[in-house]
Amino acid sequence: MPHPWAKIVAVRILVLTNMFPPDAYGGYERWCQQVVGHWRRAGHQVLVLTSNVRLSGPDGSETPDAEVRRVLHLYWADHVILRPPLWRRIRWERDNQRRLEEAVRNFRPQVASAWAMGAMSLGLLTRLGDLGLPVVSVVCDEWPVYGPHVDAWSDLVERRTWLGRMLGMSTGLPSRLPDLDVLGPACFVSSAVRRAARERSPWTFPRSTVVPSGIDGGEFPLAPDAGRRPWVWRLLHVGRLDPRKGVHTVIEALAACPAEATLQVLGTGDERYLAELQALSRRVGVADRVHFSACAPSEVAAQYAAADALVFAPLWEEPFGLVPLEAMACGTPVVASPTGGSAEFLVDGDNCVTFPSGDAAALADALRRLAGAPALRQALVEGGVRTAARYDAAKWADELERWHRDAAMEPSATR
């Protein structure tokens, strides 16, 4: 017998996320944008409610989209977590709640999709629960762990429960964390992120699955000379400028490589960290061989194709890692520290050469090994292409679509 809601084709989905391209730094935001586009092309109506944080740089231009509303206050500015005075927190929370209620009233969503909730008002999810709207958490980093602490409102009312009760009664604002275990299922980007959330967050996520990020092979075509080009020591690092990304490890390794080795650091982010990297480059004598730049997303594939190797050097438990997959799709060999979710697809000798996280000497050794082994480079290209093909963006967007459709169709009594 067919499901009683089987005839429903289109679903109205309200997406909540702290940043949305072009105002974005990393893969989480880009993956959200890809999925939103995929859902819209499938016939779903999607409204994105995101923060009013605006970024400059090559991604700073935007085609106006009435279905992306950049109106929410975020407890973050220029890589600093904000702790505004109480009166401002109340004002921001009221404004955020008003924006949410307007969206729910006018858009009439059937399901909400909670993406990057770091420094967001988690009371927005509490309110959605009060309204009876199912919420699917799409967890691509450990925001269930750190989110309650970097949300200045939730942190206040959770640490001081008596104050939270008083503020809740006097302001009418949510004064408790959302019950994510009840609001709906969770889709984690990797087993590592799900494990961390279950062990260290206030929730256990009894209904959950792993849905990896994916890439669009059309955006990252295989370079015609992949695996056959001569090695000329052109190294590349792509990603947000953040100390956890380990760019300083790559610069230290560059100093131990042959004099012809160069490093292109592609990305934007923390300006303070950029200044530290520039100072480090001067200190170790490679300032003339390290180049910092940024480019539009459409130009990244050409950067991969021009590089002899992509270096992926996280110091933290990387939630997933789209950058190695993008490089693999283009046929660029990858040298990587497999941590967190990236360890679930990075395999030494098959699709990358690995080195211990933070070990610049080991990274230099791995690069020299790759430079002197054309057969190894060819094998990594072939293994990388196979790996990238498994992480097809459309496939995983379809899987997320299924989870949201099912949540929208599920009777509230069952939830």
Beta-carbon-side half-sphere exposure of residue 164 (alpha carbons within 13 Å): 15
pLDDT digits (tens, 9 = 90+) for 152-202: 999 998 888 888 888 889 999 999 999 999 999 999 999 999 999 999 999
Task: Give the C-alpha separation, 258 to 18, whole Å.
Answer: 42
Instruction: Identify whether residues 341 and 398 lie together within a single domain.
Output: no
How many Å is the maximal CA-CA distance in the chain?
71
What whole-number distance in Å separates Cα of residue 273 and Cα of residue 291?
Answer: 15
Residues 316 and 377 in one domain: yes
Residues facing 187 on adjacent strands: 138, 209
Number of structural domains in the chain: 2
State pLDDT tens for residues 197-231. 999 999 999 999 999 999 998 999 999 999 888 99
Is residue 184 domain-shared with residue 243, that is, in the same domain? no
Q: What's the domain range around 279?
A: 234-390
Contact 84, 92 (CB under 8 A): yes
User: Is 330 inside any structural domain?
Assistant: yes
Shared domain for 240 and 377, answered yes or no, is: yes
Q: Is residue 190, in this structure, part of any structural domain at all?
A: yes
Domain membership flag for residue 219: no
Helix, strand, coil percent content, the chain, rounded in steps of 5: 45, 15, 40
Which residues face 14 on adjacent strands? 47, 112
Q: Report whether 97 contacts 393 (CB < 8 A).
A: no
C-beta separation of 44 from 27 below 8 A: no
pLDDT of residue 287: 97
Choose the weakest-confidence range: 137-146, 163-172, 182-191, 381-390. Answer: 163-172
pLDDT band at 59 (very low <50, low <70, confident <90, very high): very low
- What is the CATH classification number for the domain harbouring 148? 3.40.50.2000
260 with 293, same domain: the answer is: yes
The structure's pTM equals 0.91
CA-to-CA separations, 36 to 31, 39, 264, 406, in angstroms, rounded? 9, 5, 31, 17
Q: Are residues 17 and 81 in the same domain?
A: yes
Q: What is the DSSP letter of 245?
A: G
